[in-house]
Amino acid sequence: MSGRRVLLDAGNTRLKWAVVENGHWHATGLSDYADWSALKAQLQADTACFIASVADAAHEREIAAFMETMGLVPSWLSAEARFGGVENTYSNPRQLGVDRWMGLIAARQRTDEAALVVSVGTAMTVDALSAEGVFLGGVIVPGVQLMRQALRHGTARIDEVAGAWQAFPRATADAVHSGIVAALCGAIALQHARLAEVAGMAPRCLLTGGDAGEILPYLGMPGEHVPALVLEGIDGVARGTIAS
């Protein structure tokens, strides 16, 4: 596919987007659902638009209404049983979150090695992709903010004071933040070890999502920060040229 296209990764709280024209990435951005101006400036009448959304129904209606006002008919993507050399082994392939599916496709575009695809957002997903391109499965855990909210709502004397990571915290705010980081890193490390055992070698670890930067310094293993990983997958589907 040639020409101009806009890629949208619609999350629970924000929209990530990119503009690709004739194979070149011209612009990327991050918008919330209250301000469409930056995205609007990138849209033209002949712009092809591809959306991978895990947003709620209300936000999806906002996106659809916005596209209609711009005179565009977007393609809403979903997970499939197979694409671009990646096999989706979910018992119901369409039940897999489309953002996770796009991340797996993008990982396959980047490497033919086994890969652990980690997205640290509202929730954190940790997905295992074999060297043969088979999605082996993945886990979902609450992300940084959800864990923090759970502690504030479920326990006494946990307030909203921001903490910092410490190996041995000696203040409650630091203990909360450090515990969240430890829990998320632990989930990644466990899945990394499981995939390494299956693959017979250490898999590549690709991290994306708004809170990936909070986790990456403390992983204790090599990890690659790929902020636009989901958008890369969307672009691969839009092009439809990934080798199978």
Higher pLDDT, 97 or 242: 97
Q: Is the pLDDT of residue 76 over 90?
A: yes
Q: What is the pTM of this model?
A: 0.93
128/116 Cα distance (integer angstroms): 5
- pLDDT for the residue 242: 34
Q: Helices (DSSP H) in 21-92: which residue ranges?
A: 37-40, 57-69
Of residues 50, 86, 63, 42, the one with CA closest to residue 238 = 50
* Residue-wise pLDDT tens digits, 107-160: 999 999 999 999 999 999 999 999 999 999 999 999 999 999 999 888 877 777
- The answer to whether 61 and 53 have CB atoms below 8 angstroms apart is no
Q: Which residue has the higher pLDDT, 52 or 24?
A: 52
The residues that are catalytic are 99
27-56 confidence digits (pLDDT tens): 889 988 989 899 998 888 888 999 999 999
Where is average pLDDT lowest: 31-40, 82-91, 124-133, 227-236?
Answer: 31-40
